[in-house]
Amino acid sequence: EIERLISIDELDIGSGVNQIGTLQWAGDTRWSSHFRLVSSLLRLYNPTCGLFIATIDSQLQELNIRSNEQGVELIVLSSALNPNDGYRSFDCDSIRNLVEKFYPLDFTQENILLKCQLQHYQFDVHPNMQTLCTIAELCRKLVETGNSKIYYLIDRLPRLVLTLSVSTATTERAFSAMKIIKTKLRSKMNDDFLTNCLVVY
């Protein structure tokens, strides 16, 4: 970027001028350092944006590699329970899809009752809980207000969704431990021995 600006005579050249293409760090008490920070940010705005976009792209690629389509769908459907922003994302159909696809054993023969509870909950409870932001807060508020007994099927859903991160972390810890136990030198151990070593670890 600096080379381009020099080639079109937008920047001066010379000893100690425009040699470093990094953002200046602002000091706590010196206003001149704040000025240098803003000046360098303006000068390097386009390259900084390109660095930022490249970072976001690499993080999205990493997430796509780690998450399969089923996991992404589970997270998207779970967001229908999110009470943030006045229950803007609350959607009865998405919640029922979540139950049918991912939690059928937890709601055996209760689909019709869940549909009724969702409709009543939509008009009865959630307008009174406009200040909630997270699913964990929703779960706590349902217990505090006693609505967890009235809408017991809806109360069951946030609890199931909140266990997602725990189950994922447990799985990741198990794979990390397996990399430590099963190394190149121990690559031929059988499954029983590997399981026993992991339990001990």
- CA 97/CA 73 separation, integer angstroms: 10
- CA 95/CA 91 separation, integer angstroms: 6
CA-derived radius of gyration, the chain: 27
Which pair of structure tokens corresponds to residue 176?
């990390």
The pTM (predicted TM-score) of the whole model is: 0.49
Residue 28 pLDDT: 65
Determine the length of the chain: 201
CB 34 within 8 Å of CB 26:
yes
Residue 177 pLDDT: 74
Instruction: Indicate the DSSP class of residue 27.
Output: P
Report pLDDT digits (tens) over 126-149.
555 667 777 788 888 888 888 888
